Amino acid sequence: MCGVININEKCFELMEKVEKKQKLTYDEFAEIVGYGLEMQFFYKKRKFGITKFDGFEFYEWEKDEGYQNYKSLKEFADKINIDGVKVKDIWDKIYKLNFAD
């Protein structure tokens, strides 16, 4: 089991990877979201965002509908999708992953 110091170190490592524009694996992406960091990325010229309030919320920017909300990180990581296609299955086509504006 990881202590708080190790968790923080891992979080900072992932944050640095994002800041240096290094590609994260899907599992790393889910992990950094689990730390409560707001993220954004693009897919087919569409911008998507992730926030953590009462669970994990996944949405397309500038759209009023289609929000996906998940109570647990596992459910979020397993189910977020774009037009019915799971994000984990198209992860290699995701680009411009960054912290939310």
4-30 in b/e burial notation, b at 16+ Cβ within 10 A?
eeeeeeebeebeebbeeeeebebebbb
Indicate the pTM of the whole model: 0.87
**Which of 2-6, 22-26, 41-45, 95-99 shows the lowest per-residue confidence on average (mean pLDDT)?**
2-6
Structure confidence at residue 101 (pLDDT): 76
Structure confidence at residue 53 (pLDDT): 84
Structure confidence at residue 3 (pLDDT): 47
Neighbouring CB atoms inside 10 A of 50's CB total: 22
Structure confidence at residue 5 (pLDDT): 44
> Cα 58 to chain center, whole Å?
8
- Is pLDDT above 60 for 2? no
Q: What is the rounded CA–CA span in Å between residue 62 and residue 35? A: 25
Q: What is the rounded CA–CA span in Å between residue 28 and residue 34? A: 10
For residue range 19-77, list pLDDT tens digits in order. 999 999 999 999 999 999 999 999 999 999 999 888 999 999 988 888 999 999 999 99
- Is pLDDT above 60 for 100? yes
